[in-house]
């Protein structure tokens, strides 16, 4: 009863030319180079300004605002790119895609690229299957939070931690590439601490936390599979922020065709409107967060399990 396999078969029967969209998006590697460089430059800037003692009263406020607006945005973009690398949509070579994920991870102080790769592929293979889909909230999340507004605020605040906890709950040994990812990130963290100082490192950590919790784009974690309406377990977002966040909102389209890169997902939707125009969708990530928090019917329990 998994919807995407059925829809993919029906869509290919009706529109066999969809396969022409399969492939890679080479420009993604330039996005990696740009945003990793910007994030490291900002960490260096804040660390060096602090070290000179020329901070003033507004320095920490400026750092926090920058970590949310710019750093959080970069964190979300890094997550999108790691996602593209996971599906082999940046380079033709599988090894190069893994390297692309690790290089992207340099902008994050925590090694996530290769662990995400393993668990995300399992999410696609076992969507909604209890005990096999690592994206499903754990039982204790459901029991503790349910529809409580305050608990859901804590849930979103701690979402970066829960991502790790859900992975650990699967109790699987790390792969060699995960160890490489850990070593690379630790070395990068040591160098960042050395050249950017503790304040520069704090900026990067704060960027990660904002980016995976209350940043508007972080709402896509809720948008994608939380059931806002009975009978539909995957939702797309068609708002304007897709242009900035590499079409990560096109989630139904992505699950239907994982071989299509971010740049061609809108084309897929346009090629087969009869399959997507009937589905419910979101047009505001901020409203996704708002509705999730304040609607008592929504919570970690709002996921389809099979």
Whether residue 147 is contained in a domain is answered as: yes
Q: Is the pLDDT of residue 52 over 80?
A: no
- This prediction's pTM: 0.94
The DSSP call for residue 156 is: H
Residue 23 lies in a domain: yes
Q: How far apart are the first and last CA of the chain?
A: 9
Residue 299 lies in a domain: no
What confidence category does residue 239 fall into, taking pLDDT thresholds of 50, 70 and 90?
Answer: very high
The residue among 154, 128, 133, 117 whose CA lies nearest residue 299 is 154
Q: Is residue 275 part of a domain?
A: yes
Residue 267 clears pLDDT 90, i.e. is over it? yes
| pLDDT (average), residues 183-194 | 98
Tell me if 67 is assigned to some domain.
yes
Q: Which residue has the higher pLDDT, 128 or 67?
A: 67
Q: What is the pLDDT of residue 57?
A: 76
Q: What's the pLDDT score for residue 41?
A: 98
pLDDT above 80 for 9: yes
Stretch 195-201: mean pLDDT: 95
Report the domain count for the chain.
1
Q: Is the dihedral of CA 73, 117, 121, 210 positive or negative?
A: negative
What is the structure's pLDDT at 243? 96
Say if 303 falls within a structural domain: no
**Is residue 306 assigned to a domain?**
no
Q: Report the range out of 2-6, 54-58, 182-186 with the highest average pLDDT.
A: 182-186
**Is 129 contained in some domain?**
yes
Domain range for 212 is 3-294
As a whole number of angstroms, the distance between CA 73 and CA 63 comes to 14
pLDDT at 63 over 80: yes
């Amino acid at each position: 009863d998994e919807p995407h396999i059925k829809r993919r078969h029906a869509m290919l029967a009706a529109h066999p030319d969809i396969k022409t969209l399969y492939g890679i998006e080479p420009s993604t590697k330039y996005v990696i180079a740009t945003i990793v460089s910007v994030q490291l430059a900002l960490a260096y800037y804040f660390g060096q300004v602090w070290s000179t003692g020329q901070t003033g009263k507004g320095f920490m406020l400026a750092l926090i605002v920058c970590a949310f607006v710019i750093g959080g945005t970069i964190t979300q973009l890094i997550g999108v790119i790691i996602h593209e690398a996971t599906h082999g949509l940046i380079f033709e070579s599988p090894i190069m895609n893994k390297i692309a994920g690790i290089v992207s991870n340099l902008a994050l102080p925590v090694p996530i690229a290769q662990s995400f790769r393993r668990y995300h592929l399992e999410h696609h293979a076992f969507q909604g299957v209890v005990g096999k889909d690592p994206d499903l909230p754990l039982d204790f999340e459901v029991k503790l939070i349910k529809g409580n507004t305050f608990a859901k605020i804590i849930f979103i605040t701690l979402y970066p931690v829960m991502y790790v906890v859900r992975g650990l709950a699967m109790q699987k040994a790390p792969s060699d590439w995960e160890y490489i990812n850990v070593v690379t990130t630790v070395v990068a963290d040591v160098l960042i601490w050395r050249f950017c100082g503790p304040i520069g490192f704090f900026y990067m950590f704060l960027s990660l936390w904002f980016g995976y919790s209350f940043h508007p784009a972080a709402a896509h974690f809720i948008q994608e599979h939380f059931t806002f309406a009975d009978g539909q377990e995957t939702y797309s977002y068609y708002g304007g922020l897709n242009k900035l966040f590499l079409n990560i909102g096109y989630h139904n389209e992505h699950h239907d065709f994982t071989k299509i890169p971010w740049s061609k997902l809108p084309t897929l939707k346009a090629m087969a409107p009869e399959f997507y125009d009937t589905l419910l969708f979101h047009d505001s990530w901020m409203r996704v967060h708002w509705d999730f928090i304040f609607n008592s019917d929504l919570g970690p329990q709002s996921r389809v399990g099979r």
